[in-house]
Structure 1
Amino acid sequence: MVLATNIVRRAGSANYSVRKRMPKDLWQAFGNKLIWRSLGTPDPEEAKRRARRVLDELDREFDDMRARTSMSEHDIQEAVWSRYNELVDADERFRQDQPDGDDLDEIWRHLEAEFGEFDLQAYRIFETIRDRIEHDQAERAQRLTALKIGTSRGDTQLVAGAVMKVAKAKRVALPKGSSDYKKLAQGLQRAELEALQRAQERDEGDFSGVPRDRLVKPPVAAPAAAPGRSIPALFERYVRENPKNVKPDTLAQTRMAVKLFIGYVGERSPVTVIDKLRVGDWKDLLLRYPVKAAETKIFAGLSLEEIVACNDALPEEQRKPPISPKTVNRYMAGLSAFANWLVPQGHLPANPLLDMFITVEKDTSKPVFSTEELTTLFSSPLFTGCQSDEKLALIAQPGNLQIRDHRYWLPLVMLWSGARPAEIAQLLVKDVREQHGKWIMHITEEGSDDKSMKTKGSMRVVPIHTELVRLGFVDFAKAQKEKGEKHLFPEAERNSRGQMAAKFSRDFGRYLEKVAIKEGRGPSLYSFRHGSADALRRAEYLDEEFAMILGHAKHTQTGRYGHLPEGMLRQRVELVEAIAYPGLDLSHLYPATRQGF
């Protein structure tokens, strides 16, 4: 029978699903995304019948979203207070990162060793590092003046981005001229004014300042500062302290693990319930815990034990498979990190999880692309022309639409540099520049608050391979600069866990399946990084010799600030130019031989 085009089987599933685009009037708040709902049946007639009910449910959900066009006073107050603290904390971190006198002496000795005694370039680099606080003060003064003018005139355009960020996080569609939009915008603007005034006070050595604006204050319903002894209360203390200074994504994973444990023992339980007996029972439940349980409607509102029991009771064809032992270990590791902190705090005598992990055979294989697979990939529609730049199925179909954003460049830059996808995706336009007559990428967390590195040693200067120059990468960077872009790839975004270009990494794996390069396990976006390392080994370089190219070397000032002596840069150019893939021809992608750049 003929089904509507929005009732389809998704890859890897025998059951039908229905899809519906988010209505256009909700895009601003919730994004232009495609909503998928499983129909739970492989029978086309039954799928057609169920689809009508599911689509009606989606329409009701959209109506509910439209109804959320306002924010409570508490939500607005919470957002304003959060913005103030975010900016004050950022200023504090900036100051803590400034080098003191001893640090500056060490930096100067390092620069002298790199550039030579009395070198002018070394002094300019040193001057830039030394005077960072003065440059920051000048920028803050300009921002403060602009905000004061805007606030006095009721103009909140300077904080429009911050307003949209809050609205998106709260899942509320705020019409721009609405009363709540104005309240939120003015509150965020005044919060930034207060934060900038705190920074000025700190410039003069006064760290005692508090907000004087009555609008910038903690929300009335904020939780009491003194924590209790329950697991949730102590976990929030752990998050605030962040003893190992882990990244937000790692904290989010730990939070999920602790939340799952709380789902088993109860929210009001004292931390002393984290013992071997209960952890062992929890681990046993996790080994039966279904994949994507949080996204499954029938499990909504159920406890951990109830979810496992509910899944076990389903007919075999509907039963979800359990999460993998590797995932169980990840949850165990999250709870273990929290338990490690509880021990020296006096809440636990010892960490009960230390010898309770599941033995999982480590997969040391790192799939890379063959020359044939690379040829197929770079001759496929993503690189040569496709039918649409939105739907993955149409991106995999030949057409006249040229994609030239991060989805095009990330694979190519990874192929010829070995850089990580997130490192490339977060590059600023100014990070691609000429040095000693050679084009380089400065991979660093400097220059933007939303940048992050895997480690301090990941910051480095990577010469741009001549093949990338021929492919038009430098010209692309120049074009972005002429357009006034700050970010090289402004379309690349972080996911809710703070991971850069995570969506593209996931979609790229699916794209490889659609163009018949892999089926099931096989190469992924990261395979380009592994492949470049293999290419350097083929060129008879040792891993230690190219560690600094891949970001595995120790932290250096040159890596952080992006200035290399000419001789050192020449050595790195030789290394990068040694990356080669015999038999691979990308000349059809050169700007002179293709249209639509």
Structure 2
Amino acid sequence: MPVSTLPAGLVNRNGHYYLRIVIPKELRHLYPSSGKLPKERIWVSLNTTDLRAAKIAMKPAGARYDRIFKAQLEGLPARVALTEDDLHEAALGAYNERIALDTWLRMGVVTDADRAAMWAFLRREHDEDEAHGIMLEAEREVAYHATVRAELNAAMRAEAGRFGESTVREDVENFIREKHLDAKPGTVARKKIASAVQRGMIEAFRRGDELDDGDFTGAVKDPLVSAPRTPRAKPGEGILEVFDKFEKHNPENCNADTLAQSKYAFRLFASTLPDRATIDAITKASVRDWVDLCREYPRRASDTKAFKGLKSMEDVIEANRNLEEDLKPFVSAKTINRWLSAVGAFCKWAINQGHLDREVNPCHGLYLNVEERPPETFTPEQLQTIFSSDMFAGDVTRDHWFWTSLVQMFTGMRQGEVAQLLVKDVFEQHDRHTIFVTKRGGGGKSLKTVSSERVVVVHPELVRLGFIRHVEAMKAAGAERLFPAAAKNSRGQWIADYSREFSRHLARIGVKDGPGLSSHSFRHTAIDAMRGGGYLDEEIAPIVGHAMTKLQTSGYGKVPEDRVRRDAPVIDSITYGDLDLSHLRVG
């Protein structure tokens, strides 16, 4: 039967009908073949020798693959912009491939077995006419490769300067597909890729000409082919993609806000590395150079109108310099160290997980010297002023606005740890009331670090002030949370509104003038009080969430009796001189 009578795509092979389906170029990497080239077509058996049946069967078979291809195309990642590294890779790849082919042809190792294997491969991937054409072209190149090389070299030289692509169109399309680049026909990006491929092949032809003249000393002259480039990450292996894995793994069980701050710092660092660099770009030198940039980086740069739209740290720093008299102050050494700590934590995890091959953490030894000033704490006189003010004394609602500071100053707990407490987190064991600081139990709780989980003994003064009575009242009301009105902000921070208002309150009542004291100072005040009670930092650490070992409990917050007996005297040692809170106590 003449081929012309068959519908497009329908092929008769030895009496059986097949549907020839062309694979979209963007998807050919998903259909590997047994050879080097990607598969261009799929042959679908229609399981019939009858033409009429084949014509009927080919429509649903074709529609099925249309649906498959559509779903696969929709699942492809977004196309990425062309970079200098891409152009280098295109040029170097074309150069190496041509050099390998030229060497193979010069060695004259083409045997009948090679030809038979090539023909078998071509028959699997192409119809008979196409296979014959490709085979003839290959035979021609084997027989006359020097002549063909000269012709192709001349054609490429003529086209490269005009940014044409007819001599390398298939190579260009394959490169764009493999790298998923945004380089449509006619665009500058596509023309640059074609030129890069041509330059790589022209450089290889130059090597061939030198070998023809007996010159084995040739060196690459084209800078695009020879220039060293940073390796580019494969899809899913980019630096920020690996950081996403670190964020999901969260090895230190950090809360959402801490993770967000770490991500901000790491993105700043990653922005200084070559585009789409691999994780191996993280070296001591690259971290050191980033720290040097941080020294001139302005505070609150992301919130400053003058820096909007600027992507690199260098651009922000330069824009800040141009502000002259309005120059924004630089971030502090303490902030830089905090950012560096975030990058260091990622590197530690990446080394342990095998993502980063380093003997030593690249951040080691790069921290800035910071004159550590002890955190400001409240004096007994200031505490008396605070707790005699209208926020606490008189007819006030005893919610988190009342209890947060008091619990902090008699336990050393963090503000967020108090705000997120559940009713069931406070219970009696071994003759003392205790608070289970944990992210377990639901309620959207979180902890700063793994060592933050702990059991804290309740101070007797908190009992006298009515804290346990409040717990019992909330339990009787069927409440889940101890402070139902306490809420998180968009960054996941508990009672941020309370923090802001409390700082203003301190200023209004004359306790503070300028930065320094805040609601967080109650925690440090408690730690100082425990030190004043004669206890060492090693004894205080497990109580305030700085323990070196993970808390071991049986059940929900149940600890051995000796643990309670060990910590109770440390908590009970918290006193504040002549501070009088009798007006806040309940009968």
TM-score (normalised: structure 1): 0.51
Q: State the alpha-carbon separation in 2 of the partners of residues 339 and 571 from structure 1.
A: 37
- 2:241 and 2:449 map into 1 onto residues whose CA distance is 30
Match in the other structure for 1:327: 335
Q: Counterpart in 1 of 2:378? A: 369
Match of 1:426 in 2: 420
Q: Deviations over 1:207-239 (max 9, x none)?
A: xxxxxxxxxxxxxxxxxxx83443333333443
* Whole-Å separation in 1 of the counterparts to 2:358 and 2:559: 51
* Deviation readout 1:110-151 (Å, 9 max, x if unpaired): xxxxxxxxxxxxxxxxxxxxxxxxxxxxxxxxxxxxxxxxxx
Q: Which residue of 2 is the match for residue 312 of structure 1? A: 321
- The C-alpha deviation readout for 1:548-584, integer Å capped at 9, x for no partner, is 5434554454486333566765665554333222211
What residue is the counterpart of 1:223 in the other structure? none
Cα deviation digits, residues 304-337 of structure 1 (max 9, x gap): 2222222221251x33211112222322333344
CA distance in 1, matches of 2:485, 2:346: 36
Q: Counterpart of 1:533?
A: 527
Given that residues 432 and 440 in structure 1 are in contact (C-alpha distance below 8 angstroms), is that contact kept between their aligned partners in structure 2? yes
SS of structure 1 residue aligned to 2:577 = coil
Moved more, 562-571 or 331-340: 562-571
- The alpha-carbon distance between structure 1 residues 445 and 345, as it changes in their structure 2 partners (threshold 3 A), is closer
Evaluate the alpha carbon distance shift between residue 567 and residue 297 of structure 1 in structure 2; reply closer, same or farther with a 3 A threshold.
closer
Q: 1:478–1:458: structure 2 CA closer, same or farther, 3 Å change rule?
A: same
What is the correspondence of 1:258-337 to structure 2 with a 5 Å cutoff? 258-265=266-273, 267-275=275-283, 278-303=286-311, 304-316=313-325, 318-337=326-345
Q: Which deviates more, 325-334 or 552-561? A: 552-561
**How is 1:163-182 mapped onto 2 (pairs within 5 angstroms)?**
none
Q: Given the superposition, is the C-alpha separation of residues 243 and 557 from structure 1 closer, same or farther in structure 2, using an over 3 Å criterion? A: closer
Structure 1 519/346 Cα, relative in aligned 2: closer, same or farther at 3 Å? same
| C-alpha distance in 1 between matches for 2:534 and 2:358 | 52
Post-superposition CA distance 1:469-517 (Å, at most 9, x none): 2222222222222333211112323444544445534543443233321
Letter in 2 for 1:252: A
Partner of 2:471: 477
Bigger Cα displacement from structure 2, 465-474 vs 547-556: 547-556
CA distance in 1: counterparts of 2:342 and 2:451, whole angstroms = 25
- How far off is 1:376 after superposition? 0.9
Match of 2:573 in 1: 578
CA separation of 1:293 and 1:562: change in aligned 2, threshold 3 A: same
* Structure 1 residue 360 corresponds to structure 2 residue 350: no
Shift of 1:271: 4.0
Sequence identity of aligned pairs in percent?
41
Partners of 1:421 and 1:573 lie apart in 2 by 21
Indicate the SS of the match to 1:377: helix
The structure-2 alpha-carbon separation of the partners of 1:322 and 1:586, relative to structure 1 and needing over 3 Å to count, comes to same
Alignment deviations for residues 89-120 of structure 1 (CA, whole Å, 9 cap, x no partner): xxxxxxxxxxxxxxxxxxxxxxxxxxxxxxxx
Q: CA 1:559–1:384 in 2, change beyond 3 Å: closer, same or farther? A: farther
Q: 1:508 matched to which residue of 2?
A: 502
- Give matches, 1:189-588, under 5 Å: 227-242=235-250, 247-265=255-273, 267-275=275-283, 278-303=286-311, 304-316=313-325, 318-340=326-348, 345=354, 353-354=362-363, 357-384=366-393, 402-435=396-429, 438-448=432-442, 450-454=444-448, 458-505=452-499, 507-545=501-539, 547-553=541-547, 554-558=549-553, 561-563=556-558, 569=564, 572-588=567-583
Residue 138 (structure 1) aligns with = none
Structure 2 SS opposite 1:407: helix
Bigger Cα Rg: 2
Return the offset for 1:363: 1.0
Distance in structure 2 (CA, Å) of the matches to 1:567 and 1:438: 12
Structure 1 distance, partners of 2:409, 2:530, is 12
Q: Supply the AA of the counterpart residue of 1:583.
A: D
| Change in CA separation of 1:276 and 1:404 when aligned onto 2, cut-off 3 Å | same
More displaced stretch, 437-446 vs 287-296: 437-446
Tell me by how many angstroms 1:302 deviates. 1.0
Q: Partner amino acid for 1:354?
A: C
Q: Structure 2 CA distance, aligned partners of 1:447 and 1:337?
A: 28
Please say if residues 444 and 560 of structure 1, whose CA atoms lie closer than 8 Å, have aligned partners that are also in contact.
Answer: no
What is the rounded CA distance, in whole Å, between the counterparts of 1:339 and 1:566 in structure 2?
Answer: 40
- Provide closer, same or farther for how the CA distance between residues 473 and 234 of structure 1 changes in structure 2, counting only shifts above 3 A: closer
415-424 or 503-512: bigger deviation: 503-512
Question: Is this contact kept in 1: 2:401–2:498, CA < 8 A?
Answer: yes
Task: Please say if residues 231 and 267 of structure 1, whose CA atoms lie closer than 8 Å, have aligned partners that are also in contact.
Answer: no
Contact 2:465–2:585 (Cα < 8 Å) also in 1: yes
Work out whether residues 422 and 501 of structure 1, in 8 Å CA contact, stay in contact via their aligned partners in 2. Answer: yes
Query: CA RMSD, aligned part only?
Result: 3.6
1:274 CA drift (Å): 3.7
Change (3 A) 1:507 1:241: same
> What 5-or-longer segments of structure 2 have no aligned partner?
1-74, 76-233
CA distance in 2, matches of 1:572, 1:274: 44
| 1:451 partner amino acid | K
Q: Is the 8 A contact 2:253 2:448 kept in 1?
A: no
Query: Which amino acid letter does the alignment assign opposite residue 493 of structure 1?
Result: A
Equivalent-residue separation in structure 1 for 2:434 and 2:546 (angstroms): 18
Q: Which residue of 2 aligns with 1:88?
A: none
Contact 2:258–2:448 (Cα < 8 Å) also in 1: no
**Are residues 251 and 441 of structure 1, via their aligned partners in 2, closer, same or farther at CA, if it must alter by over 3 Å?**
closer
Cα distance change on mapping 1:351 and 1:309 into 2, 3 Å: farther
Residues 54-92 of structure 1, C-alpha deviations (whole Å, 9 max, x = no match):
xxxxxxxxxxxxxxxxxxxxxxxx9xxxxxxxxxxxxxx
- Whether the aligned pair in 1 keeps the contact of 2:254 and 2:448 (CA below 8 Å) is no
Indicate conservation of the 8 Å contact 1:367/1:527, yes or no: yes
Deviation for aligned residue 1:240: 4.1
Distance (whole Å) between structure 1 residues aligned to residue 377 and residue 270 of structure 2: 41
Give distance in 2, aligned partners of 1:352 and 1:457. 22
